[in-house]
Structure 1
Amino acid sequence: MKFAGIDIGTTSIGLVIVSAEHGETVSVDTQPNDAVLQSARSWERIQDPERIVEIVRGLIASCARDWAEVSAIGISCQMHGMLYVDADGRSIGPLYTWQDGRGDLPQPHGEGATYAERLSQLTGYAVSSGYGLVTHHYNRLTGGVPDNAASMCTVGDYVAMKLTGATAPVMDASNAASFGLFSNGERAFDAAAIRRAGMAYSLLPRVIEAGGIAGLTSDGKRVACAIGDNQASFIGAVPQLKGTLLANIGTGSQLSLFAEQYEEIPGLETRPFPGGGFLLVGAPLSGGKSYALLAHFFRAVRGSFGDAKIDEAEMYERMNAMAEQALDGEQAQLRFGTQFYGTRQDPLVLGSVAGLSPDNFTPGHFAAGVLAGIVDELIGFAQLLPDRLLGAVTSAAGSGNGIRRNPVMQRLLRERLQLPLHLAEAKEEAAFGAAVYAAAATGAFPDLDAAMVAMKR
Structure 2
Amino acid sequence: MNTIGLDIGTTSICGVRINAESGKSEKTVSAKNDFWIDGAPFERLQDAEKIFDTVLSLANELKDENTAAIGITGQMHGIVYLDKSLRAVSPLFTWQDGRGNLPYKNGTYASFLNSFTGYGNVTHFYNETNKIIPENAVLYCTIHDYAAARLAGRKSPVMHVSDASSLGGFDIKNNKFAVENPFLPETTDTAEKLGEWHGIPVYTAIGDNQASFIGSGCNDGCVLVNIGTGSQVSFSVNEPITADGLETRPLSDGKFIAVGSSLCGGRAYAVLEGFFEKVLKMCGVSQEPLYEKMADEIGETYKTGISFDTRLCGTRKMPEIRGSIKNISTENFTPRDMILGCMHGIANELYCLYKSGGTNCTKLIASGNGIRKNRHLQNITENTFGMKLHIPSLCEEAAAGAAIFAMTGCGIYKNLETAERIIQYDLR
Bin of the TM-score, shorter chain as denominator length: over 0.9
Answer yes or no: is the 8 Å Cα contact 2:99–2:123 preserved in 1.
yes
Q: Which amino acid is the alignment partner of residue 4 of structure 1?
A: I
Answer yes or no: is the 8 Å Cα contact 2:48–2:88 preserved in 1.
yes
Identify the residue that residue 65 of structure 2 maps to in structure 1.
68
Residues 231 and 209 (structure 1 numbering): CA distance in 2 closer, same or farther, change over 3 Å?
Answer: closer
Identify the residue that residue 198 of structure 1 maps to in structure 2.
none
Q: Can you list the C-alpha shifts for 1:60-115, whole angstroms capped at 9, x where unaligned? A: 2333xx533211011111110111000000001100111111101111xx12x011
Identify the residue that residue 278 of structure 1 maps to in structure 2.
256
**Distance in 2 separating the partners of 1:86 and 1:244:** 42
Answer yes or no: is the 8 Å Cα contact 2:3–2:406 preserved in 1.
yes
**Distance in 1 separating the partners of 2:422 and 2:297:** 41
Q: Which runs of 5+ in 1 are unaligned?
A: 121-126, 195-200
Q: Can you list the C-alpha shifts for 1:184-233, whole angstroms capped at 9, x where unaligned? A: 11101113xx4xxxxxx11101002422222221x221111110100110
- Aligned counterpart in structure 2 of residue 157 of structure 1, from 125, 145, 155: 145
Identify the residue that residue 236 of structure 1 maps to in structure 2.
215
Identify the residue that residue 50 of structure 2 maps to in structure 1.
51
Identify the residue that residue 287 of structure 1 maps to in structure 2.
265
Secondary structure in structure 2 of the residue aligned to 1:174: helix
**Distance in 2 separating the partners of 1:363 and 1:42:** 32
Q: Residue 42 of structure 1: CA displacement?
A: 1.6
Identify the residue that residue 436 of structure 1 maps to in structure 2.
404
Q: Residue 169 of structure 1: CA displacement?
A: 1.2
Q: Can you list the C-alpha shifts for 1:11-67, whole angstroms capped at 9, x where unaligned? A: 11110001112222111112211212222x22111101111111112212333xx53
**Distance in 1 separating the partners of 2:25 and 2:261:** 29
- Aligned counterpart in structure 2 of residue 178 of structure 1, from 143, 166, 190: 166
Task: Provide the identity percentage.
Answer: 39
Structure 1 position 300 matched with structure 2 position 288: no
**Distance in 2 separating the partners of 1:179 and 1:281:** 15
Answer yes or no: is the 8 Å Cα contact 1:326–1:368 preserved in 2.
no
**Distance in 2 separating the partners of 1:57 and 1:34:** 16
Q: 5 Å matches for 1:255-270?
A: 255-270=233-248
Identify the residue that residue 295 of structure 2 maps to in structure 1.
320
Q: Which runs of 5+ in 2 are unaligned?
A: none
Q: Which amino acid is the alignment partner of residue 321 of structure 1?
A: D
TM-score (norm 1): 0.90
Q: Which amino acid is the alignment partner of residue 426 of structure 1?
A: L
Answer yes or no: is the 8 Å Cα contact 1:286–1:341 preserved in 2.
yes
- Aligned counterpart in structure 2 of residue 132 of structure 1, from 104, 120, 123: 120
Identify the residue that residue 333 of structure 1 maps to in structure 2.
305
Structure 1 position 80 matched with structure 2 position 77: yes
Answer yes or no: is the 8 Å Cα contact 2:245–2:261 preserved in 1.
no
Structure number having the greater helix percentage: 1
Answer yes or no: is the 8 Å Cα contact 1:250–1:401 preserved in 2.
yes
Secondary structure in structure 1 of the residue aligned to 2:346: helix
TM-score (norm 2): 0.96
**Distance in 2 separating the partners of 1:142 and 1:437:** 39
Q: Which amino acid is the alignment partner of residue 363 of structure 1?
A: P
**Distance in 2 separating the partners of 1:139 and 1:214:** 29
Identify the residue that residue 203 of structure 1 maps to in structure 2.
183
CA RMSD between the two structures: 1.5
Structure 1 position 16 matched with structure 2 position 16: yes
Q: Which amino acid is the alignment partner of residue 83 of structure 1?
A: V
Answer yes or no: is the 8 Å Cα contact 1:323–1:366 preserved in 2.
no
Identify the residue that residue 35 of structure 1 maps to in structure 2.
35
Q: Residue 146 of structure 1: CA displacement?
A: 0.8
Answer yes or no: is the 8 Å Cα contact 2:100–2:108 preserved in 1.
yes
Identify the residue that residue 192 of structure 2 maps to in structure 1.
212
**Distance in 2 separating the partners of 1:292 and 1:281:** 23
